[in-house]
Amino acid sequence: MKFVHIADVHFDIPFSTLADKDGLDLKRKLEQRDVFKKVIEYIKNNNIEYLFISGDLYEQEYVKESTIEYINKMFKEINNTKIFISPGNHDPYLNNSFYKNYKWNDNVYIFNKENNYFSFNNVDIYGFGFDDFYVQSLDVEKIKIVDKDKINILVMHADLDASKNGDKPYNPVLTKDLENLGFDYIALGHIHATNFEKNKRILYPGSLTSLGFDELGKHGIIAGDITKEKYNVEFIEIKENELKEININVSEFSDVEELIQKISEIIADEQLYKIVLCGKRKFDINIQKIIDIISAKNLIKIKDETVIGYDVDKIAKENSLRGYFVREVLEHKNEYSNEEIEKAIEIGLENL
């Protein structure tokens, strides 16, 4: 059987960090659709028999009916592919959910309490769906495989090897318990980074696209071609406009003009950037002023992790205007925080 496994698409997620960037949130949502369409094209071009979606296909709190219609339209384009969806914590199977109230295409199978097993000629597919935003346990340990001669698949949203004592559980389940069930492949969702290894049978594909700067790196799908005798799976990257985090050491720059020039050179392409400033600074850094000067839509955030680059103790001993200024500021160090004292010294020395 040939399959594609995806998870954590999160259609209609707000992209709040991009919302104030002149339509970048909308652009990112369109990129989500483009990547999803690439998955559908891959399925069509490779005659994929099964598509497993392991939860968080969309955002229950924000999803529009037009988005659901788009998703279903894509599903109709792969009418010969059987699609199995296991609702997750962001798209649970609720009474008011689109999973329950929308007329999905005939090739779509949605797991819920009443439907957690589908049988075909040579494949049996099991699955569980969240019926709330938090789920303590879906009792997967109790599954009994009906026919072990068939290829047996489990599709589920789960927090693998997480503690079962948390206040907000997302179906915590142990690897050893899943291994003991005897499935040929277990398609998981929830964790946004893939755990892909060639011979693993319990896999997360990770989120389909980068949903934030904490999700850098490759994103894509897991594609498999397996029988009872053969096991072949691979991770396939789906190209997107990446979110990139770049570290810049300011120690090499003598003034803010050099820093702005460097940032401008880096963000010249179409990727979305978070810039992290580090090292020892010799000049005042005003983040908002730098962002306003550069005025680039793809510069999403600048984070300042620099430390003051002056040897304050040494300057304080100088018989100079600089030394007098530093000594005067240090006399007030009990009245202000270290950060405020450092900033005052930095600004003053830069102007002097």
pLDDT at 22: 58
pLDDT band at 177 (very low <50, low <70, confident <90, very high): very high
Q: How far apart are CA 113 and CA 99, in angstroms?
A: 13
126, β-bridge pairs: 117, 154
Q: Of the given ranges (45-49, 72-76, 249-253), which has the lowest mean pLDDT?
A: 249-253
- Residue pLDDT, tens place only, 241-300: 667 778 889 888 888 888 888 888 888 766 777 888 998 887 888 888 888 888 777 777
pLDDT at 66: 93
3-state class (DSSP) for residue 171:
coil
For range 106-120, the mean pLDDT = 95
Name the residue with higher pLDDT: 294 or 52: 52
Q: Which residues contact 72 (CB under 8 A, 6 or more apart)?
A: 102, 104, 105, 108
Q: Which residues contact 33 (CB under 8 A, 6 or more apart)?
A: 70
Q: How far apart are CA 15 and CA 24, in angstroms?
A: 9
Tokens read off for 325: 């200024």
Q: Tell me how far CA of residue 249 lies from CA of 52, 278, 299, 309, 349, in angstroms.
A: 44, 5, 17, 12, 20
Q: How far apart are CA 43 and CA 2, in angstroms?
A: 10
pLDDT band at 345 (very low <50, low <70, confident <90, very high): confident
- Residue pLDDT, tens place only, 204-214: 999 998 877 77
Provide DSSP, 27-85: HHHHHHHHHHHHHHHHHHHTT--EEEE-S-SB-TTT--HHHHHHHHHHHHTTTTSEEEE
The number of residues in the chain equals 352
pLDDT at 163: 82
% of the chain residues with pLDDT over 70: 94
Dihedral angle, C-alpha 48, 53, 54, 55, nearest 10 °? 180
Name the residue with higher pLDDT: 105 or 345: 105
pLDDT band at 194 (very low <50, low <70, confident <90, very high): very high
Instruction: For residue 4, give the H/E element and its range.
Output: strand 2-6
pLDDT band at 215 (very low <50, low <70, confident <90, very high): confident
Task: Write b or e for each residue in 159-173: b if 16 or more Cβ atoms lie within 10 A of its Cβ, otherwise e.
Answer: bbebeeeeeebbbbb
pLDDT at 126: 97
pLDDT at 106: 96
Q: How far apart are CA 209 and CA 12, in angstroms?
A: 13
- Residue pLDDT, tens place only, 7-44: 999 999 987 555 555 556 677 788 899 899 999 999 99
pLDDT at 301: 79
Name the residue with higher pLDDT: 97 or 293: 97
pLDDT at 222: 98
pLDDT at 242: 62
pLDDT at 179: 94
User: What does the mean pLDDT of the chain come to?
Assistant: 89
pLDDT at 20: 56
Domain boundaries, the chain: 2-237, 243-351
- Residue pLDDT, tens place only, 123-165: 999 999 999 999 988 888 788 999 999 999 999 999 999 887 7
Q: Does domain 2-237 have CATH number 3.60.21.10?
A: yes
pLDDT at 158: 95
C-alpha closest to that of 259 among 235, 232, 289, 229: 289
Q: How far apart are CA 258 and CA 266, in angstroms?
A: 13
For range 305-329, the mean pLDDT = 87
Name the residue with higher pLDDT: 287 or 226: 226
Q: Tell me how far CA of residue 139 lies from CA of 22, 173, 193, 236, 283, in angstroms.
A: 46, 9, 25, 31, 59
Rounded to two decimals, the pTM is 0.73
pLDDT at 266: 81
pLDDT at 23: 56
Sign of CA dihedral 60, 169, 152, 40: positive
